[in-house]
A and B are shown apart, each in its own frame.
Chain A
Amino acid sequence: MSKSPGFFSAESNRKRRAAANGVMVTLTYVAAAVATLPLIFILFHLIKLGATSINPDFFIRMPQPVGEAGGGMANAIVGTLILISIAAAMGLPIGIGAGLYLADRKGSRLANVVRFLSDVMNGLPSIVMGIFAWELLVVPIGHFSALAGGVALGAMMIPLVTRTTEEMIATVPNTLREAALALGYQKWRTSLGVVLRTAMPGIVTGALVAVARVAGETAPLLFTAFGNHFWSTSLDKPIAALPLQIFTYAISPYDEWHSLAWAGALVLIAMVLVISIAARYVTRSRYGVAAD
């Protein structure tokens, strides 16, 4: 009875509703446009302020002391690659194995617990992973190390890879699994040889996304890899990393270090975006746009 006909004729009511519709629909368009702006701004500034410092020296030379022109981040780039490798060596097998379990035993109690905790762990602050690796590998040994940094990043990858592996395996048609079993394949060979192989492009995507995510992590490395101004590839010693170096340079008071920070950020983001876009491409070409 709230809409009494005396106050609003059917016609004005219709107009009012149409107007409200127009306003709200337009607002969602605006919201979407605004939501894309930050990325465009950030990329614009990165290119504008970072591109001038990018040259071959940046990739092959060591950092110079303050006041000396030039210099690069060769040690940080190599350090990041080493850290990512350790993380992947730890995170991928465990993550994929756990993902296989989740897909095989969808409804079991352990599967439900693991699925839930993986999601919870994906939301844990990365700095917490750093504290964990610090307590586990830095405190007992007595010094910072590349290994501790890699373990912190690897621990971050595990829940991420677990969930994407499970999701990708879920896209494999069950008939394929049944066909393999009907042909006399054992369960483990069906899982590894047929199901996992079919889901491989998706799992590679998940792995790439996880790598891209940890590649840019800084906070856990403060406690573990620590950074290093010199060349080091030893797993037992502190090691430089691109994100750490960007942080150090960004909060320094020197202009030339600021431009190196921008250049480093541009390189880092190029790495991350190339990996992310490659990851999208791998899944898209396989499952088509319709999957979205």
Chain B
Amino acid sequence: MTGGSSALDAGAAGGLSEVPPGPPPESRLANALAASHVGDRAYTVVTTAFAAFVPLLLILIGVAIIVAAWPAISTFGLGFITSSEWDVRAGKFGAAPALFGTIVSSIIALALATPFALGSAIFLSEFAPNWLKQPVGFLVDLLAAIPSVVYGLWGIFVLVPLLREHVMPFFRDTLHLGSTPFFSGPAYGPSMLAAGVLLAVMVLPYISAVSREVLRAVPRAQREAALALGATKWEMIRDAVIPAAKSGIVGGIILGLGRALGETMAVTMVIGNRPEISASLLAPGYSMASLIANEFSEATNDMHVAALMAVGALLFLITIVVNAIARWLVWSVSMKGEK
């Protein structure tokens, strides 16, 4: 320690080296306390301000969107949600087809993604050997890191042709489902089905990650108790693990729903962008986010822009509610696990 100037020494020197010859202990203590008050107070003020900025930002976002959407909201009122007429030239704007498309594509996505997400989560938390846990979990998690526009690109050039040439004819002709409304009409390719399948891939990592987390929060003793009673591994999962994690898993699925509802680019690229309500999954549709993304750059008159912003406001409200419910459910489980 010849140099004697490591960071810790330098830090300590300021406070301690002056101690012996200084003023009486009481006033030194008072000075130190006063100094710490200034530093601590500044630190508290700054971090509190940054923390308070988060709710403020959410309020700002909400206000900005409602201000932008106000001309449309005040003109159309609730009819905006129920009307299915979206005619820019006639100045008629109804968001029903987009709302319908958003909900249908998200439901398809959840129906397809949930079994695989849940299965992979159970595999990873209960069965996977240690050497497989990391890489498989990593591969699933990485799906969440792929940008939306890359999914869209893959959707346009790989998924849509695959659906058009193989999957759609299979459902319509081979399984003879063409006579039902759900698979009727020509198979263009870009469709509600394509959007749903692509969204399924995109929400899978979210549902899987949350499920894994809540399954892990289930106490070990619960599993051991079930096994000690003679349950098979599957019975243990069905009767002892899943019931305890149920609301968290539902939370994860709703979180995935939130993702699916607001997904923009990938959906815009494969859903077909046609403002019509059709029961057929093979028909093109629209989602709220894709409607905004697709028409914003072409929107020249003010009411058209305001109508798009009103769609955005609707999307904002729906996703806030959905996410709040999801978070609350996930938290209720992980809190229990911590106790």
Contact = CB atoms under 8 A, between A and B. Distances in A.
Interface of A: 17-18, 20-21, 24-25, 27-32, 34-36, 38-42, 45-46, 49, 93-98, 100-102, 104, 110-111, 113-114, 116-129, 131-132, 134-136, 139, 155, 158-159, 162, 183-184, 186-189, 191-193, 212-213, 215-219, 222-223, 243, 246-247, 250-251, 258, 261-262, 265, 268-269, 272-273, 276, 280, 289, 292
Given A21-B234, A125-B263, A191-B43, A216 B149 contact: yes
The 9 closest A-B pairs by CB, nearest first: A31-B119, A125-B262, A216-B147, A97-B50, A188-B43, A123-B323, A101-B51, A21-B232, A219-B264
Interface in B9-61: 11-12, 15-16, 32, 35-36, 39-40, 42-44, 46-55, 57-58, 60-61
B234 A110 contact: no
Interface stretch (B86-94, B167-175, B217-225, B289-297): B289-297
Contact of B146 (A25, A111, A193, A269): A269
A117 B47 contact: no
Given A32-B119, A35-B120, A125-B264, A116 B127 contact: no
B46 A117 contact: no
B111 interface: no
Contacts of B134: 289, 292
27 contacts: A17-B235, A28-B126, A31-B116, A32-B124, A32-B136, A32-B140, A35-B120, A36-B120, A39-B146, A42-B146, A100-B50, A123-B255, A125-B262, A127-B312, A131-B65, A132-B60, A135-B68, A183-B12, A188-B39, A189-B39, A213-B145, A215-B147, A222-B297, A243-B265, A258-B157, A268-B149, A276-B145
Nearest to A162: B54
Contacts of B55: 113-114, 117
Given A123-B255, A187-B36, A269 B261 contact: no
B128 interface: yes
Contacts of B238: 24
A171 to B, nearest CB: 15
A35 B54 contact: no
Contact of A247 (B32, B50, B149): B149
A71 to B, nearest CB: 18
B148 interface: yes
B263 A223 contact: no
A39 B139 contact: yes
Contacts of B324: 116, 120
Contacts of B51: 97-98, 101-102, 110-111, 114, 162
B166 to A, nearest CB: 15
B201 A32 contact: no
A184 B40 CA distance: 13
Instruction: Please indicate which of the listed interface residues A29, A31, A136, A219 has the most CB atoms of chain B within 10 Å of its own CB.
Output: A219
B57 A18 contact: no
Given A28-B127, A110-B51, A213-B145, A132 B40 contact: no
Interface stretch (B180-188, B277-285, B314-322): B314-322
A32 B327 contact: no
A136 to B, nearest CB: 6
Contacts of A189: 11, 39
A100 B43 CA distance: 10
Given A24-B234, A127-B262, A162-B54, A219 B289 contact: yes
Contacts, number: 282
B147 A127 contact: no
Contacts of B326: 123
A contacts with B: majority SS = helix
A116 B53 contact: no
Nearest to B43: A188
B43 A127 contact: no
B28 to A, nearest CB: 12
Contacts of A131: 64-65, 68, 292, 309, 312
Given A32-B124, A32-B136, A218 B54 contact: no
Contacts of A139: 68
B45 to A, nearest CB: 10
B204 to A, nearest CB: 6
A158 B54 contact: yes
Contact of A219 (B46, B47, B123, B265): B265
A36 B136 contact: yes
A215 B145 CA distance: 10
Contacts of A104: 47
Contacts of A186: 35-36, 39-40
Interface in B131-157: 133-134, 136-140, 142-143, 145-154, 156-157
Given A46-B154, A101-B50, A212-B145, 17 more contacts: A21-B233, A21-B235, A28-B119, A28-B120, A28-B127, A32-B136, A34-B120, A38-B204, A41-B158, A120-B327, A123-B322, A124-B319, A127-B289, A184-B16, A250-B149, A262-B157, A268-B147
